[in-house]
């Protein structure tokens, strides 16, 4: 997590602890089920990035707009598209948590694949 060949204590993993106790196939399935086409279709990577920024910025459309150099309405439109494609209710905290864990899971698997 801190670069190739570096070790990290389990307590330092933060929310990754909830992900990394699971088999990689289950993490992939979970992420695919929740993120659907925004994670698997490269043409929709901008939607994935928008969702990640939205979740990372605690649901602040203004913060996402600033971070991604977009207009607030563009961010709102993208988030509606994410909700439409995934079936996710972005107003529901449990749904947002699930999406965040799916994103962390994808990131953890990518790190593990690079390291191997």
Domain that holds residue 38: 10-115
CATH of the domain at 14: 1.10.10.2840
What dihedral angle (degrees, nearest 10) is formed by the CA atoms of 25, 31, 33, 38?
-130
**What is the distance between the alpha carbons of residues 14 and 83, in angstroms, rounded to a whole number?**
27
pLDDT tens digits, 25-62: 888 999 999 999 999 888 999 999 999 999 999 999 99
Asked whether residue 3 is domain-assigned, the answer is no
What pLDDT shows up at residue 1?
A: 47
Look at residue 5 and tell me whether its pLDDT is greater than 70: no
**Mean pLDDT, to the nearest integer, of 106-116?**
75
Q: Check if the beta carbon of residue 27 is closer than 8 Å to that of residue 103.
A: no
What mean pLDDT, rounded, does the chain reach? 87
Q: Check if the beta carbon of residue 82 is closer than 8 Å to that of residue 93.
A: no
Count of domains for the chain = 1
Asked whether residue 72 is domain-assigned, the answer is yes
**Mean pLDDT, to the nearest integer, of 13-27?**
73
Look at residue 112 and tell me whether its pLDDT is greater than 90: no
Count each helix (H run) and each strand (E run) in the chain, helices first. 7, 0
**What is the distance between the alpha carbons of residues 7 and 20, in angstroms, rounded to a whole number?**
15
pLDDT classification of 23: cutoffs 50, 70, 90: confident
Look at residue 91 and tell me whether its pLDDT is greater than 80: yes
Asked whether residue 4 is domain-assigned, the answer is no
């Amino acid at each position: 997590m801190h670069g190739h060949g570096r070790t990290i204590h389990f307590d330092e993993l933060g929310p990754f602890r909830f992900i990394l106790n699971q088999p990689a196939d289950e993490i992939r399935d979970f992420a695919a089920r929740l993120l659907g086409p925004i994670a698997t279709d490269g043409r929709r990577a901008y939607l994935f990035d928008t969702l990640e920024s939205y979740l990372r910025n605690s649901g602040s459309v203004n913060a996402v707009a600033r971070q991604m150099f977009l207009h607030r309405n563009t961010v709102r439109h993208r988030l509606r598209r994410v909700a439409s494609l995934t079936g996710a209710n972005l107003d529901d905290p449990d749904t947002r948590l699930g999406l965040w864990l799916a994103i962390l899971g994808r990131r953890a698997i990518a790190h593990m694949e690079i390291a191997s």
